[in-house]
Amino acid sequence: MSEVILNEANFDNEVLKSDLPVLVDFWAVWCGPCKVLSPIVEELAKEYEGKLKVGKVNVDENNALASKYGIMSIPTLKFFKGGKVVGEMIGAAPKATVEAQVKLYI
């Protein structure tokens, strides 16, 4: 299983009610740094399968979610555990940096 495409309709079930910790990538098609971060997020989704759920929210298509979670710049990664935000990273970062954050929450 790779990333789950998230939207207003499935966010609660896929993220807030998830038994696994969830990494949510808030992104947009036109965002250059998002294109840099996206392959890293995809790799982590595969490497941590069964331990971490990874989802993507297109902020242009899901304004309500972006607003609800205070997304001011993208890419933003938010980490959810037990239905609550437990951490975040803003901006593109190397895989090692993102992975270090993932390990804090799994």
Residue 29 designated active-site: no
Q: Respond yes or no: is residue 34 known to be catalytic.
A: yes
- Local structure of residue 106 (DSSP, 8 states): -
Looking at 22, 34, 40, 44, which residue is catalytic? Answer: 34
Residue 9, classed as helix, strand or coil, is coil
Query: DSSP strand E in the chain: where?
Result: 4-6, 22-27, 53-58, 76-81, 84-90
Q: Say which of 4, 6, 22, 31 is annotated catalytic.
A: 31
Active site residues: 31, 34
